[in-house]
Structure 1
Amino acid sequence: MTLDLIIIGVAIALHPLPAMALILLLSGDRGVRKGLAFVLAWLASMVLVIGCVLLFTGGSPPREHTAPSTAALAVKLAIGLGLILFGAYKKRKEARPRAEPTWLGKMRNASGWSAAGMGVLLQPWGLVAAGAATVMNADLSHAVTWLTLLLYCLLSTSTFLAMELYATFRPARAGARLQALLHGITTHQDQAVVVLSLVVGFWLTGKSLYELT
């Protein structure tokens, strides 16, 4: 479970679309406050998803070779295949020019509540679902499990926390560097989505098939 969550957490942290949105928020008026609203809403939604899964499982993983454990593996397999198909679809569309979404250009002028809402809506929900399916195997009777889940949440939010802290404590430097980062992300966002989707998709699919057989 730990390695799965590390891979998924890194993929979530490196997803380009929410990073672009946060940089635009930070570059606007009262950007640090709006960025904080975004990050807190992002983290809260992740914690809520994990909490719902643990409430469903009771904090105990299903026994191996039972119907619940097989169902959990089937869900992970389906998510993995879905990510592979999505990555392949995005790969085919990579070369096609496309306009920037209109809502993205309005992020600089978003309100605090809108920023918080975007922190929830812009979650890469396919990857979040993969993390939720993995958390079904969590055994809360072990302290290391709590630590693993905490690290997963922090890892998934690490990129956004780093940008928020940088903009807070180094505002003069952060502006130019975050704009340069935004340009790089914008240029390579499709490639990043393809790579992240395929890596996580093939990992989940391969591991699920191995455990099912």
Structure 2
Amino acid sequence: MVLDLVVIGTAISLGPLHNSAFILLLSARSGVRLGLAFLLSWLANLVAVIAVVVLLTGGQPPARHSTPSTAAIAAKLAIGLGLVLYGAHRRRRPPRPHGPPRWAARIDNASWVTAAGVAWLLQPWGLVGAGAATALKANLSTAGDWLALTGYCLLATLSLIVMEMYAVWAPAAAKSRLNALRNWLGRHQEQLIITLSLLAGLWLMAVSIYQLIT
């Protein structure tokens, strides 16, 4: 479970779409507050999904090869296959120019509610679902599994935490460097999405197939 959560959390954290949007928010007049609203909404979404899973299982993992256990593995397999197909589709299609999102021109007038809503919209729900299916195996009577789930939520938010802290402690340097990072993400967005989709999808498929046949 722990290794799966590390892979999924890393793939979520490295996604170029939400990181680019977050940098745009940080560049606004109230950027630190907007960034904090985005970050907290992002983290709250992850925690809420895990909390629902824990409530459904009562903190006890289902028995191996039981119907709930097999269904969770099948869901991860389906998500993995979907990610691979999505990555392959984007790799085959003609490249498209990627400018700033439509709301970027109105960023200075954005509210914290808007920032929180953008975080919800940009959450990679396929990977979040894979994380939820993995969390089904958590046994909350052990401290290790509590730490694993907490670490997963923080890892999936790590890029946002780092950028938010950078903007707070070194605002002048952060502005220029984060804008340079956003430009780099814009130029390599397609490659990053394809690579993350294929790697995460293949990992989920391989692990799920192994779990189903053993």
Could you tell me the TM-score, scaled by structure 1's length? Answer: 0.96
Instruction: Decide whether the 8 Å contact of 2:26 with 2:35 is kept in 1.
Output: yes
SS in 2 for 1:79: helix
Q: 1: CA distance between counterparts of 2:135 and 2:63?
A: 14
Structure 1 ranges of 4+ moved more than 6 A: none
Aligned runs of 1:13-162 on 2, under 5 Å?
Answer: 13-93=13-93, 95-97=95-97, 100-162=100-162
1:92 Cα deviation (Å)? 1.6
Instruction: Decide whether the 8 Å contact of 1:24 with 1:108 is kept in 2.
Output: no
Q: Write the deviation string for residues 165-199 of structure 1: whole angstroms up to 9, x where unpaired.
A: 00011001111001100000000111111111111
Q: Name which of structure 1's ranges 102-111 and 59-68 shifts more when overlaid on structure 2.
A: 102-111
Instruction: Decide whether the 8 Å contact of 1:94 with 1:191 is kept in 2.
Output: no
Instruction: Decide whether the 8 Å contact of 2:99 with 2:186 is kept in 1.
Output: no
1:67 Cα deviation (Å)? 1.5
Instruction: Decide whether the 8 Å contact of 1:166 with 1:174 is kept in 2.
Output: yes
Q: Write the deviation string for residues 105-139 of structure 1: whole angstroms up to 9, x where unpaired.
A: 44443211100111111111111111111111111
Q: 2: CA distance between counterparts of 1:78 and 1:9?
A: 18
User: RMSD of the TM alignment (CA)?
Assistant: 1.3
Q: Name which of structure 1's ranges 189-198 and 102-111 shifts more when overlaid on structure 2.
A: 102-111
SS in 1 for 2:59: coil
Instruction: Decide whether the 8 Å contact of 1:94 with 1:190 is kept in 2.
Output: no
Q: 2: CA distance between counterparts of 1:153 and 1:131?
A: 9
Q: 2: CA distance between counterparts of 1:144 and 1:77?
A: 25
- Asked whether 1:208 is paired with 2:190, we answer no
Instruction: Decide whether the 8 Å contact of 2:30 with 2:108 is kept in 1.
Output: no
Q: Name which of structure 1's ranges 94-103 and 143-152 shifts more when overlaid on structure 2.
A: 94-103
Q: 1: CA distance between counterparts of 2:193 and 2:94?
A: 10
Q: CA 1:191 to 1:4, structure 2 compared with 1: closer, same or farther past 3 Å? A: same
Could you tell me the TM-score, scaled by structure 2's length? Answer: 0.95
SS in 1 for 2:119: helix
Q: Write the deviation string for residues 44-97 of structure 1: whole angstroms up to 9, x where unpaired.
A: 111000000111111111111222211111111111111111111111225244
SS in 1 for 2:165: helix
1:24 Cα deviation (Å)? 0.4
Counterpart residue type for residue 204 of structure 2: L
Q: CA 1:55 to 1:165, structure 2 compared with 1: closer, same or farther past 3 Å? A: same
Counterpart residue type for residue 114 of structure 2: S
1:98 Cα deviation (Å)? 5.2
Q: 2: CA distance between counterparts of 1:140 and 1:46?
A: 17
Instruction: Decide whether the 8 Å contact of 1:21 with 1:107 is kept in 2.
Output: no
Q: 1: CA distance between counterparts of 2:182 and 2:100?
A: 13
Instruction: Decide whether the 8 Å contact of 2:37 with 2:116 is kept in 1.
Output: yes
The unaligned stretches of length 5 or more in structure 2 are none
- Overall identity of the aligned pairs, in %: 54
Q: CA 1:116 to 1:98, structure 2 compared with 1: closer, same or farther past 3 Å? A: closer
Residue matched to 1:195: 195
